[in-house]
Structures are given as structure tokens and as C-alpha cells.
Amino acid sequence: MSRPTLLIVDDNERLAQSLQQLLQLHGYNAEICSSGEDALQLVMDIKFDLVLLDLSMPDMNGFDVLTELATYSAPPPVIVISGTKTLNAAIEAMRLGAYDFLRKPYQPEELLHTIENAIEKSRLETQNRSIHARLEESENLYRYLVNSSPDIIYTLDDSGHFTFINHRVETLLGYRRESLIGKHYTEIIYSDDFDRASYAFNERRTGNRATRNIELRLKCKDLESDIRHFEINFITVVLNATGTYGGTHESGTPFSGTYGVARDISDRKKVEEVITRQAYHDTLTGLPNRALFKDRLNVALNHAKRNQQQLAIMFLDLDRFKWVNDTLGHFYGDELLKHVAQRLSGCLRAQDTLARMGGDEFTLLLHDLQQPEDASLVAAKIVDELKRPFLLDEREIFISSSIGIALYPDHGDTIETLIKSADIAMYHVKWRGKNGYQYYEASMNAMFHKKLSMENELRRAIEKKQIMLHYQPQVDVETRKIIGLEALARWHHPELGIISPTEFIPLAEETGLIFSLSEMLLGEACKQMQLWEAAGLLNFRLALNVSPQLVEEESFVSKTLSYIQSHHLKPEFFEIEITENLLVRDLENTVAKLKALGKHGIRIALDDFGTCYSSLSYLRQFPIHNIKIDKSFVGDINTHDESVPIITAISGIAKGFKLDLIAEGVETLQQMKTLHKMGCNIMQGYLFSKPLPAQNITTLLKRQANLFHKNGEPDDALITQH
């Protein structure tokens, strides 16, 4: 420890020096000055531990020095040493801040003792001030940290009343913090969460066992709040709370309340809610998705089992949705699905569930059925509703729906079996011709599995090119020449032999495999036509059957032309056979496409003429070149009287509209002669030839070329080839 430094202020030099000697003897440094002004200057320049001040000095007395020193920050303690006898002088000196007053002459011990005490007191005061300043600094820092915290920080007393709460409560909840002090914590708790809150807000435990990350909703001040307006009336927080005890939390000290920190997680909750919603809802229609449907079905099943109730589920698939998507584009497809969802919702009771399983598939859950027939009432209503045209961008769209119905407990007692049964029943409606509803029946299972395995086999057959074309000649009976061939698909099944297109074309159409199959067959037909052209045999037209879905495809015209052109063939060598049911589907679009093909020289033949509802206005609107009399009329021509007037009428129509006429299914000479007499020259049928593989047709074409070349005459041998 360094020696304390003292300042002796006395105009009596002798006295000052003897005092200096005394002090030095007792371990002090002592400086002397003889006037008040000098003393003040020295105190300003040097840090003294004590001043020994005489009162009566010329110019500036001791009182003036004391008065001046009082204006200094942290002045040294002053002991006044004076010969003045009056009590008032001592009182005045003490009032002006002197530590003590000693009267001359003094006892050296008394002086030394007083000096020691004064220095020690001054040291303690300095130490105290520094501790105080540090404390204030740290308190300011903590106050700043607490008030600028993004979390609500609070303390409660032992009965749950706020003793402190930081500023964050104002911005988050809208309460003034002062208004909450003394209020019970329930003032800010969302009423549904009172029970949960009571644990955290009465927390007595500390350390690891205290409340950690409990989720709660805190109530915002109501809308009339003068501080802030809130759109929502609560926020979600995650809360950590701990008990507080008098002093430190040593055991045995009394519980004084709770300290807690609440972090606002409302934004995170909102994101979580969106994610949860997306996980259980279809984003396009807003309907429950497959996962939520299954969940609801599970709950409904348990309820129905407990209460011996019946319920129905429906599996709905839109007919012709693919057409809308492919022809009008996905925007319209999506719009249509939204409209469908709305109409379906309108057919159900509030407690029923409607879900979108994906694509154009919807499922419906009907609770608490009184009788099984109730489901069919709903299904019939839906079928009717969806038959009404949909107006998309001022365009009327016609679709229909196929619905399968499965009942609990009759058709299954688990989620999976019920959905599967409804799905199978829906497929049955599709196979039956769509647009309707059907309850599940056990017998449907076998057929469903047969169809499914057929579908897989068909897919493989297309990949392995097991499906190929046979060609059937179309003959001009007057010249006896082959003027055309009809390409007809055949499936060469490795085990089942040849499968008829009447079996696999509808399946290909239902499953969408028709697109890949048709492309494959068009490629094959073009390749074969190229070979016949190279062999100098190409002086006929090839008729191709196309399914309605194909014509409805956006790229139908460009794809067909690009195949033909990429094989360097003339479009005039091709004819497209369409059926009347294509004409009733999307008139405007179909006409445009057929006209486009016609412009390139491709002819259009109307197949199976007379079997459907044939509006003559179609013939006027359509770019048709050729009508084919259906084989059912031809077959009956010599046995049923009514076939003759029908064929006569068809022949008249063809003449009237200046269309070519071809009779198909001609099997006998008698049929041929009758048809010829009725004005039909072009015929196709077993009488001339069955559909044959390409190489047999090549032989036939070569024979024809040779015969005509040699004789210039038709040969009867051309007529029957089997």
C-alpha cells in the first residue's frame, strides 16, 4: 500500500512544518501550502487523501476553501484545525462538509487517530461509489436487454400477480405494461388454455425440472385498444418458466414467485398450419385429399361399428375429363375440376365428406345411412348434376360421371376393402358405357381382375409389337379391281392365338393405351405402304380406323400428316374411317380437324352408316367423302325385307350428297348382285377376301397387276380368295 498523501493548509509556517514532521514520522507524505487559493489549485492538480485546513488565513479563509471544495467532484476529506474557540465555527465547518474539527492545541494522538479514521472513511466511500456505479451500469445493461428482448419476460409474485413485465408485452399483446403490474396472470391467457397455463404460471421448480417449451395462446387486448389494433385476438407463445426464491434459490429459502420468458411463435404456427393443411387437402379444389379421406373414413367406420350404423362410400371418376385436358389444355382441366368439386359439394349434407383422390377421381363418404337405397339417391343426383353443361370461358363443356358405391358392412369393413369395392363398381360402370352408378357386387371381382390382367398384357403386347395389321381388300365389282384396303388390327397372343380388335380396342380406349397402339399401327401401315409403292403396287387407297379419342387429341392432324410425309407417301393414298358417335362429341373441333386432313388430300369415310342416329345435317357439315353401309344391313339383304329400303335410302343419300358408297360384310354372290343392282359398286367382305397379313395382300396385288397387265381384262379369280 502506498503512503497516504496529505495537504497541510496553514499560513503559520512554523506550525505547518512541525505538523509535517509529525505526519512523516507516522508514515504519511505531507505537502504544505500557506493560502486558500494555492490549496484549491493543488487539490485540483494532485490527488490528496486528506486536507488539514486552518480556518483563519489572509485573503481566503478556511470556510471559503470548504465552500469551494464542495463544488469539486470527489474532493478529499477535510479536517479543520483551528485556534477558534467558538462552537459556531466548528458547526459551520461541519456544515460546509468538513470531516472533523480539531481545536489547537491538539493532542498528536488525537490528530493522528482522526486522520486515520477520515482516510479510512474516505476510502470506503470511494469504494462504495465505485460499487454503486458498477451496479447501476449493470442494472442499465440488464434493463436494456430485458426491454429490447424479442420475448415477453415477466415475474410473478407467489400468488401469480405480475411484479414485472417487459416492454414486449405492449407490441405483442397491446397492454400497457404498467396496467398489468399487480394483475393476475390469467388476464393475458386465452381462456381455452387456462388449465395448461396454470402449471407454467405457478411453477415452483427450478433448474432442469422447471417448465420448458410449453405452448400457450396469449390473449391480445381487445380491438378498442388505444395502443394498437389487432386483426387476431391471440398469439401463440412457447413458454419457459421457473420458480424464484427469496435471494438465491437455495433450499429452505421461501418461494417468492415465478420468472418466465414467452417467445412468440405465431408465424411458425401459421406456417405449420399451412403445411398441415397442404398435407391433408387438395390444393386445387381445397377438398380433403386421400390421406384425410382415409382418416375420416376410419373415424366413421369405428363410429358405425359401435352404433351398428350403415355407411356408404362412392368412388367417382369423370368421363371425358382426359379429353378436356388434352384438347382444351390443363388450365381448363383445372377449372373444370374446381366446378365439379363445387357441384358435388352441393349434393351432399354438411356431415358427409367429399375428397379428391387425384386426377379426375373423387370419393364421397355418406354417414349414417337409413337404408342402402339412400346412397343411390345421392348418386343419381350427382350423375344428373354433372351431366349439365359446364360453362368455361363462355364455352359449354359436356362431361358425365361414373360412380361405384360400396356399403359398410355389406361390401367391406375396412378402409381398404370399401375403397377398393367402390372402385371396382365404378370400373363396372365404365365398362357398361359410363355415365351412371352401380353398387358393388361380389361377382365383379373376377371380371375386374381379368380386365386388369388384360390391360397389363395389352401394354406388354404393344411394347413387344404383338399387335399388327391385316388388310382387307375393297373391290370395284364392275372392274373387279382392288381399289382400296382397310387396315384392321390383330393381336397375335403367344398363348391365346389371334385376339379380335372387338376385344382389345375398347380396353385400349378405356385405359388410354389407344394412343401408343394407334401410333404404332400408323407407323406400321406407312412402312407397308412404302414397300408396296417401291414394288410398283401402290394404286389403291388405305383406310385406317381411328378411335374418337385419337381425333380429339390436339396433335391428331399434325401427327397423322407427319407420319405419312416422313415415309414420303402422298396423303391421297389414305382414308380415315370415323364412326358417327365421334360426330356427336365435339362437333366444331372435329369438323376443323377433318377439314384440315381433307385439305391435304386425305379422304374421310363414315363407317357403320345407318347403325346410329344419323343426322343428315352431319353429312352437310362434314367433309366426308365416303359412306360405308354397315354389314348388318348387307347380311340381311336377302333375308329381311326392311334392309332393302334402308340400303336404297343410304344409296340415295350418297348420290344426293355426291359421296362414294361402299358396302361392307359382303359374303355371298347374291348379296353382291343385289347391292350392285341398287347402285353400289364398291364392296368389301369375305366374298372377296378376309382381312389378310401384308405378305398375302402383296401376292394378291402382284397377281392383279400381272393379270391386268397380261390380259387387260378382269379376272374372276380375284373375287374369291379363300
Binding stretches for ligand LFPHGCPZ (CB under 6 A): 472, 486, 488-489, 500-502, 505, 521, 545-547, 577, 607-608, 631, 664-667, 684-686, 691
Query: In the bound complex, what is the minimum distance in angstroms from residue 342's beta carbon to ligand LFPHGCPZ?
Result: 36
- Nearest approach in angstroms of CB 648 to ligand LFPHGCPZ is 21
Q: Which is nearer to ligand LFPHGCPZ, 155 or 632 (CB)?
A: 632
Between 82 and 689, CB nearer to ligand LFPHGCPZ: 689
Q: Please report how close the Cβ of residue 290 comes to ligand LFPHGCPZ at its closest, in angstroms.
A: 34
Give the shortest CB-700-to-ligand LFPHGCPZ separation in angstroms.
Answer: 15
Q: At 439, which helix (H) or strand (E)?
A: strand 436-439
| Nearest distance, CB of residue 476 and ligand LFPHGCPZ, angstroms | 16
Give me the DSSP letters along 360-379.
Answer: TEEEEEEEEESSTHHHHHHH
State the nearest-atom distance from the C-beta of 580 to ligand LFPHGCPZ, in Å.
11
Q: Closest separation between CB of residue 628 and ligand LFPHGCPZ, Å?
A: 6
We find the least distance from the C-beta atom of residue 347 to ligand LFPHGCPZ, in angstroms, to be: 36
- Residue 146 vs 520, nearer CB to ligand LFPHGCPZ: 520
Compare residues 242 and 474 and give the one whose CB is closer to ligand LFPHGCPZ. Answer: 474
Output the smallest distance, CB 645 to ligand LFPHGCPZ, in A.
22
DSSP, res 104 = S
Closest approach, Cβ 540 to ligand LFPHGCPZ, in A, equals: 16
Sign of the alpha-carbon dihedral angle for 156, 157, 162, 166: negative
Q: In 10 A of CB 268, how many CB atoms?
A: 12
Nearer to ligand LFPHGCPZ among residue 335 and residue 664 (C-beta): 664
**228/490 with CB nearer ligand LFPHGCPZ:** 490
- What is the side-by-side strand order in the sheet with 310-319? 353-358, 361-369, 310-319, 400-408, 436-439
Interatomic CA distance for residues 647 and 695, integer angstroms: 34
- Residue whose CB is less far from ligand LFPHGCPZ, 444 or 627: 627
Burial 276-313, CB ≥16 within 10 A → b, else e: eeeebbbeebebbbbebbbebbeebbeebeeeebbbbb
User: DSSP characters for 457-523?
Assistant: HHHHHHHTT-EEEEEEEEEETTTTEEEEEEEEEEEEETTTEEE-HHHHHHHHHHHTTHHHHHHHHHH
Strand segments (E) across 265-325: 310-319
The phi, psi pair for 575, rounded to 5°, reads -135, 140
Q: How far is CA 251 from the centre of its chain?
A: 54
Q: In terms of CB distance, is 260 or 691 closer to ligand LFPHGCPZ?
A: 691
Residue 454 CB, shortest distance to ligand LFPHGCPZ, in Å, is 16
Q: Which is nearer to ligand LFPHGCPZ, 37 or 667 (CB)?
A: 667
Of 323, 319, 359, whose CA–CA distance to 553 is shortest?
A: 323
Q: Decide whether 43 or 605 has the Cβ nearer to ligand LFPHGCPZ.
A: 605
Nearer to ligand LFPHGCPZ, 290 or 430 (CB): 430
**Residue position matching grid coordinates 399483446:** 173
Residue type, 404: G
Measured from the CB atom, the residue of 166 and 684 that comes closer to ligand LFPHGCPZ is 684
697/703 Cα distance (integer angstroms): 10
Cα 1–chain centre separation: 77
Closer of 84 and 549 to ligand LFPHGCPZ (Cβ): 549
The separation between CA 449 and the C-alpha centre of its own chain, rounded to angstroms, equals 34
Dihedral sign for Cα atoms in the order 190, 193, 195, 197: negative
Task: Judge whether 400 and 386 are in contact, CB under 8 Å.
Answer: yes
- Residue 562 DSSP label: H
CB of 684 to ligand LFPHGCPZ, least distance (A): 6
Helix pair 514-534, 444-463: axis angle to 10 deg: 40
CB 472 within 8 A of CB 438: no
CA 392 centroid distance within chain: 24
Q: What is the distance between the alpha carbons of residues 245 and 562, in angstroms, rounded to a whole number?
A: 88
**C-beta closer to ligand LFPHGCPZ: residue 421 or 472:** 472
- What is the full DSSP assignment across 112-179? HHHHHHHHHHHHHHHHHHHHHHHHHHHHHHHHHHHHT-SSEEEEEETTSBEEEE-THHHHHH---HHH
* Shortest separation between residue 412's beta carbon and ligand LFPHGCPZ, angstroms: 37
* C-alpha grid cell, residue 624: 366426308
Query: How far apart are alpha carbons 671 and 471 in whole angstroms?
Result: 22
Which CB atom, from 177 or from 628, has the smaller least distance to ligand LFPHGCPZ? 628
CB of 430 to ligand LFPHGCPZ, least distance (A): 18
Residue with smaller CB distance to ligand LFPHGCPZ, 365 or 687? 687
Using N-to-C axis directions, what is the helix angle for 556-566 and 514-534, rounded to 10°?
30
CB of residue 676 to ligand LFPHGCPZ, shortest distance in Å? 16
Long-range contacts of 559-563 (CB under 8 A, 24+ apart): 559/519, 559/522, 560/522, 560/597, 560/602, 561/597, 561/600, 563/519, 563/522, 563/523, 563/526
User: Which residues have CB under 8 Å from 560's CB, separation 6+?
Assistant: 522, 576, 597, 602
Q: Tell me whether residue 163 or residue 668 sits nearer to ligand LFPHGCPZ (CB atom).
A: 668
**Helix, strand or coil, per DSSP, at residue 684:** strand
**Any residues with CB less than 8 A from the CB of 395 and at least 6 apart, and which?**
328
CB 475 within 8 A of CB 687: no
**C-beta of 336: minimal distance to ligand LFPHGCPZ in Å?**
26
Q: Is 582 helix (H, G, I), strand (E, B) or coil?
A: helix
CB 521 to ligand LFPHGCPZ: min, Å: 5
